Amino acid sequence: MAKTNHTNQQTNIKTLSTIQTEVESINRIALSVDCVIFGFDENKLKVLLIRSDLKKFQGKWSLLGDLVDPKEELDSAANRILKQRTGLDDVYLEQVKTFGCLDRHPAGRVVTVAYYSLINIQHHKLKILDNELHWHDVNDITELAFDHKQILDCSFEQLQRRVQEHPLAFSLLPKKFSLRELQNVYEAILDTKMDRRNFRKKFFAMDFLVDIDQMEQDVPHRPGKLYNFNYNKYEKKKKKWVGIDF
Partner DNA sequence: AAATAATGTGTTTAAATTACACATTAAATT
Partner DNA sequence: AATTTAATGTGTAATTTAAACACATTATTT
Name which of DNA, a second copy, none residue 167 binds, using a CB cut-off of 5 to 8 Å depending on partner kind: none
119: Cα separation from own chain's centroid = 6
Mapping DSSP onto H, E and C, the string for 36-65 reads EEEEEECCEEEEEEEECCCHHHCCCEECEE
**Residue 97 or 233 having the CB closest to a second copy:** 97
Instruction: Please state the closest distance from residue 205 (CB atom) to a second copy, in A.
Output: 20
d(CA 124, CA 235): 27
Alpha-carbon distances, residue 203 vs 148, 192, 198, 200, 210 (angstroms)? 35, 17, 9, 5, 11
Name which of a second copy, DNA, none residue 128 binds, using a CB cut-off of 5 to 8 Å depending on partner kind: none
Instruction: Please state the closest distance from residue 60 (CB atom) to a second copy, in A.
Output: 24
Q: How many CA atoms lie within 13 A of 148 on its CB side?
A: 28
**Residue 197 or 239 having the CB closest to DNA:** 197
Q: Which stretch binds a second copy (CB under 8 A): 81-89, 108-116, 134-142, 225-233?
A: 108-116
Angle of the 148-162 helix axis to the 179-190 helix axis, nearest 10: 130
Instruction: Write out the binding residues for a second copy, residues 14-73 only, by CB under 8 A.
Output: 26-31, 68, 70-73
Instruction: Please state the closest distance from residue 30 (CB atom) to a second copy, in A.
Output: 8
Name which of a second copy, DNA, none residue 175 binds, using a CB cut-off of 5 to 8 Å depending on partner kind: none
Determine the residue type at 26. Answer: I
Instruction: Write out the binding residues for DNA, residues 156-195 only, by CB under 7 A.
Output: 178-180, 195
* Residue 145 contacts residue 60 (beta carbons within 8 Å): yes
Q: Which helix (H) or strand (E) holds 211?
A: strand 209-215
Q: Which stretch binds DNA (CB under 7 A): 61-69, 99-107, 111-119, 221-229?
A: 221-229
| Total of residues contacting a second copy (CB under 8 A) | 22
Among 198, 213, 232, 239, indicate the residue that binds DNA (CB under 7 A): 198
